[in-house]
C-alpha cells in the first residue's frame, strides 16, 4: 500500500491509499473554495450525562446531487470534485461539513472506490483489504491527536438510513470523549471480570460458538454471529477470534481473511429479502477501545452490521419505546435471522 498526503483548496487534508507502490499522485485542487467555517460544539446533557454535537453549519451540506455532480467521484471531463485525481483506489479526506471539528474532534470521509455505481459488496478482496488498511491508518493517526479519545469507522448505506450521497463511502469520527455506547460496554466488561475473572467478549464468542444457533459464518480468524439480544431485525457482529482492542492490533492473518468474511456478509445482506428487492439499507460500525480508558485491554474490537428493514417493503422505526426509553422491541427472533443469513450464502 502507498499513502500520499495532499491538501484541498480550502486547506483540508486529503489522503490517497493506492494498492500499487509506484502510483504517483500530483493532482492539484483547482476549485476556488473559501476556508471551511464550522460552528460545531459539544454540549453535555445534565440529566443523562451524555454528549450532543451541535453543528448548525451542516444544514447547508450537499444533499442528493445528480450522479454527474457527485462530489465523491474523481475530477474528470472538466468537472472538479472533492478528489482532484482523475481516478483513485481509496481516498480519505476531512469532511467539509463536519459534525466534530477543531478541539471538538475530527470527521473524515472515506471513499471506497471511484466507481459511483458500485457498493462495498461489489469490491474485490484486494480493494476491501485496502479499505481496511485505510481504516487502520486513520485509527493510528487520529490516536495521536490530543483532542481524540476514540475513533469510530462506519458506513451508512441506503436512502432509508438517511444517506445524502449515493457514492460508496463511509466516515470516520474522532470523538473528543468516550461514547455512551462504549462506556456501557466497558462497564459490562468490568462487571463481568469482577464477577467471573474472565473476559466478557471472549465469553460471548465462546458461548455463541458452543450454542451454534446464532452463528452465521466462521473462518480461521473471524466469527460472525447474531447477538443473543439483537436490537435490530437483522444484525450481525463480526469478531476476530484473537481478541484485540482496536484495528491497529489485528495480525496479518486476520487482515488477510477479513475481506473474504466481510464481503460475504454484505452480499448475504443484499439477498435476505429475496430476488427483485432493492439493495438492503444498512449501517456497518467498527467498535474500538478508547485510547486512554483503564479498561482498554479488556475491550474486544468488533464490527456491528445491521439493517432497519424488517421484511420486504417494511422498515423498523424507532418509535415510543425505542426513542423515548431506549428499550428496543425486535420483531425478528435472533435465531430466525441467523438461519435466514445462513440460507442465503453465496454458492
Q: Give 45-95 pLDDT, tens digit per residue.
A: 999 999 999 988 787 667 678 888 999 999 999 899 999 999 999 999 999
User: Residue 212 to residues 70, 206, 217, 242, 301: CA-CA distances in angstroms?
Assistant: 44, 10, 10, 19, 21
Residues 162 and 242 in one domain: no
Among 57, 116, 169, 221, the one annotated catalytic: 169
Q: How many domains does the chain have?
A: 2
Residues 309 and 190 in one domain: yes
Residues 154 and 241 in one domain: no
Annotation marks residue 169 as catalytic: yes
Residues 58 and 123 in one domain: yes
Above 70 in pLDDT, residue 183? Answer: yes
* CA–CA distance, 98 with 37 (Å, rounded to integer): 10
Domain boundary among 116, 146, 175: 175
Domain boundary among 146, 175, 204: 175
Residues 15 and 104 in one domain: yes
User: Residue 227 to residues 136, 209, 222: CA-CA distances in angstroms?
Assistant: 25, 11, 15
Residues 171 and 93 in one domain: yes
Residues 251 and 293 in one domain: yes
Closest by CA position to 231, among listed 285, 267, 190: 285
Return the number of other C-beta atoms located less than 10 Å from residue 187's C-beta: 11
What pTM was estimated for this model as a whole? 0.96
Residues 171 and 189 in one domain: no
For the segment 111-127, what is each residue's pLDDT rounded down to a tens digit?
999 999 999 999 999 99
Grid coordinates representing 148 are: 481524540
Burial 152-175 (b: 16+ CB within 10 A, else e): bbbbbbbeeeeeebbbbbbbbbbb
Domain boundary among 175, 206, 238: 175
Residues 168 and 234 in one domain: no
Residues 142 and 233 in one domain: no
CATH number at residue 313: 3.30.428.10
Residues 265 and 290 in one domain: yes
Residues 184 and 279 in one domain: yes
pLDDT score recorded for residue 63 = 60
CB burial of residue 216 (10 Å; 0-12, 13-18, 19+): buried
Above 80 in pLDDT, residue 347? Answer: no
User: Which residue in the block uniquely carries the three cell numbers 474486544?
Assistant: 300
DSSP state of 75: P
Please say whether the beta carbons of 148 and 291 come within 8 A: yes
Which domain covers residue 96, as residue numbers?
2-175
Amino acid at each position: 500500500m502507498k499513502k500520499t498526503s495532499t491538501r484541498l483548496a480550502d486547506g483540508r487534508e486529503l489522503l490517497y491509499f493506492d494498492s500499487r507502490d509506484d502510483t504517483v499522485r500530483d493532482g492539484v485542487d483547482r476549485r476556488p473554495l473559501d476556508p471551511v467555517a464550522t460552528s460545531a460544539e459539544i454540549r453535555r446533557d445534565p440529566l443523562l450525562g451524555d454528549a450532543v454535537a451541535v453543528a448548525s453549519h451542516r444544514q447547508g451540506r450537499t444533499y442528493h446531487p445528480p450522479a454527474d455532480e457527485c462530489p465523491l467521484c474523481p475530477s474528470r471531463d472538466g468537472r472538479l470534485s472533492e478528489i482532484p485525481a482523475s481516478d483513485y483506489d481509496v481516498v480519505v479526506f476531512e469532511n467539509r461539513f463536519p459534525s466534530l471539528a477543531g478541539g471538538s474532534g475530527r470527521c473524515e470521509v472515506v471513499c471506497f472506490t471511484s466507481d459511483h455505481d458500485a457498493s462495498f459488496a461489489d469490491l474485490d478482496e484486494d480493494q476491501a483489504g485496502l479499505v481496511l488498511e485505510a481504516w487502520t491508518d486513520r485509527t493510528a493517526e487520529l490516536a495521536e491527536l490530543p483532542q481524540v479519545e476514540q475513533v469510530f469507522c462506519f458506513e451508512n448505506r441506503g436512502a432509508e438510513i438517511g444517506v445524502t450521497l449515493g457514492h460508496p463511502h463511509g466516515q470516520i469520527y474522532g470523538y473528543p470523549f468516550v461514547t455512551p455506547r462504549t462506556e456501557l460496554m466497558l462497564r459490562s466488561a468490568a462487571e463481568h471480570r469482577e464477577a467471573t475473572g474472565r473476559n466478557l467478549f471472549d465469553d460471548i464468542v465462546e458461548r455463541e460458538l458452543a450454542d451454534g444457533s446464532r452463528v452465521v459464518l466462521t473462518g480461521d480468524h473471524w466469527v460472525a454471529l447474531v447477538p443473543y439480544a439483537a436490537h435490530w431485525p437483522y444484525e450481525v457482529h463480526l469478531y476476530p477470534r484473537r481478541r484485540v482492542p482496536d484495528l491497529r492490533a489485528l495480525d496479518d492473518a486476520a487482515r488477510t481473511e477479513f475481506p473474504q468474511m466481510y464481503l460475504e456478509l454484505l452480499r448475504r445482506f443484499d439477498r435476505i429479502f429475496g430476488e427483485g428487492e432493492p439493495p438492503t439499507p444498512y449501517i456497518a460500525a467498527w467498535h474500538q477501545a478508547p485510547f486512554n480508558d483503564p479498561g482498554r485491554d479488556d475491550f474486544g474490537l468488533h464490527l456491528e452490521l445491521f439493517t432497519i428493514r424488517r421484511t420486504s417493503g417494511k422498515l423498523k422505526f424507532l418509535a415510543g419505546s425505542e426513542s423515548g426509553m431506549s428499550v428496543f422491541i425486535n420483531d425478528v427472533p435472533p435465531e430466525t435471522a441467523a438461519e435466514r443469513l445462513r440460507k442465503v450464502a453465496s454458492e
